[in-house]
Amino acid sequence: MSYSIGDGMVVLALAAGIVGYLYVIHRTRQKRLEIIHQERMAAMEKGIPLPEFPLEPMRQRQPDPNVLPILGTVLFSLSIGAMIVLYLNRSASSGAMWVSPLPFAFLGVGLIAFHFLQAKPGR
């Protein structure tokens, strides 16, 4: 397979974009640390005690309760649709292939069932 100059330019542009993104992230962290350092030095000169803050703030995210039923519905509907398509387009040599998406259908049903079995009474 031969590659063209355009393919190389695309790869270089993607690599430059990734390196540029990482550079910008690094510079914003560096700038934030400099600002924190300047604030602390000014407080130390004035004799004001400062509480210790972590450099990276902890992000507490609550898990979304709608992810499991949505994922279960998507898996179930896609696998049922794939089974229908495979059943309607089956040939003599691959007649039993239409059941191959069945594990994904069971996985989707299991995720939906888990969501409803885990549900709290007030929800």
- Does 10 have pLDDT greater than 60? yes
- Does 118 have pLDDT greater than 80? yes
- Residue 1, Cβ density class (10 Å: 0-12 exposed, 13-18 middle, ≥19 buried): exposed
Tell me what pLDDT residue 64 has. Answer: 85
Tell me what pLDDT residue 91 has. Answer: 75
d(CA 68, CA 118): 11
pTM score: 0.50
Q: Which two tokens stand for residue 73?
A: 């519905």
- Does 123 have pLDDT greater than 80? no
Give 27-78 pLDDT, tens digit per residue.
Answer: 999 998 898 888 888 888 888 887 676 666 677 788 888 899 999 999 999 9
- Does 88 have pLDDT greater than 80? yes
Amino acid at residue number 15: A
- The average pLDDT across 92-108 equals 86
